[in-house]
């Protein structure tokens, strides 16, 4: 069961990088889709930005946790985003630690289709390292993680996980660049990457 601590006090690598991306949400945005919402952290953050949020996840226990917390402005759907009847176009689509749960290329195409023209895609993801080539990056990640533990406690999200990720960073970079022209891929220090994109 998830710890009942305020969202503002929750820290983990995915959340920290997501918070960095929040300023990219346009002031004109009014609707958002949160893919793989889990217990609702990102959905609540988007709602706090004044967005009407549709939050989708196939895991019923996670949605029960989400609905037990403040849900104003959020509609939770128990569904697979790849097949859900989502006919609207959203100003913002977010996917936190979820892309590796899905068929990557089809999911990126689905996210793009669900965005309104001019809409913003924000992805924080996990991918596999290529060892031994990435040994230096792994060492840097371990050091940064240990340093972070000196200043804060990591919050463990309670939803189902997939490990190890089935794709590596290079494949995510190639696929996002090809399927989302003009997108920005960034490999982050603490075992994460981000992809941001504005739909033409």
pLDDT (tens digit, 9 = 90+) per residue, 138-189? 756 566 656 666 566 776 887 778 778 899 999 999 999 999 999 999 999 7
- 20 phi, psi to nearest 5 deg: -65, -30
Spacing of C-alpha 80 from chain mean position: 15
Tell if the pTM clears 0.75, that is, is over it: yes
- For the stretch 16-27, pLDDT in tens is 999 999 999 999
What is the average per-residue pLDDT within 128-139? Answer: 72
Per-domain residue ranges for the chain?
Answer: 7-128+156-198
Position 2 scores a pLDDT of 46
Does residue 37 carry a pLDDT above 80? yes
pLDDT for 150: 58
More confident call, 189 vs 73: 73
- The size of the chain, in residues, is 200
**Quick one: average pLDDT of 78-84?**
97
Which class would CATH give 7-128+156-198? Answer: alpha beta
Point out which residues pair with 95 in neighbouring strands: 35, 123
8: confidence class by pLDDT, cuts 50, 70, 90: confident
pLDDT of 88 higher than 50: yes
Of 129 and 115, the structure prediction assigns the larger pLDDT to 115
Residue bearing the bigger pLDDT, 9 or 60? 60
């Amino acid at each position: 069961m998830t710890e009942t601590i305020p969202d503002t006090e929750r820290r983990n690598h995915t959340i920290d990088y997501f918070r960095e991306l929040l300023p990219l949400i346009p002031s004109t945005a009014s609707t958002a889709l949160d893919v793989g919402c889990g217990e609702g952290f990102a959905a609540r953050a988007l709602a706090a930005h004044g967005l009407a949020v549709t939050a989708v996840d196939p895991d019923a226990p996670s949605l029960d946790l989400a609905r037990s917390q403040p849900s104003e402005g959020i509609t939770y759907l128990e569904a697979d985003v790849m097949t859900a009847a989502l006919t609207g176009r959203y100003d913002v689509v977010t996917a936190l630690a979820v892309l590796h749960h899905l068929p990557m290329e089809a999911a990126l195409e689905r996210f793009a289709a669900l965005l309104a023209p001019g809409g913003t895609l924000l992805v924080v993801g996990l991918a596999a390292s290529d060892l031994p080539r990435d040994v230096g990056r792994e060492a840097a990640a371990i050091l940064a993680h240990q340093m972070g533990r000196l200043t804060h406690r990591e919050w463990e999200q309670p939803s189902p996980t997939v490990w190890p990720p089935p794709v590596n960073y290079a494949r995510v970079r190639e696929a996002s660049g090809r399927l989302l022209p003009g997108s920005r891929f960034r490999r982050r220090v603490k075992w994460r990457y981000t992809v941001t994109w504005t739909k033409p």
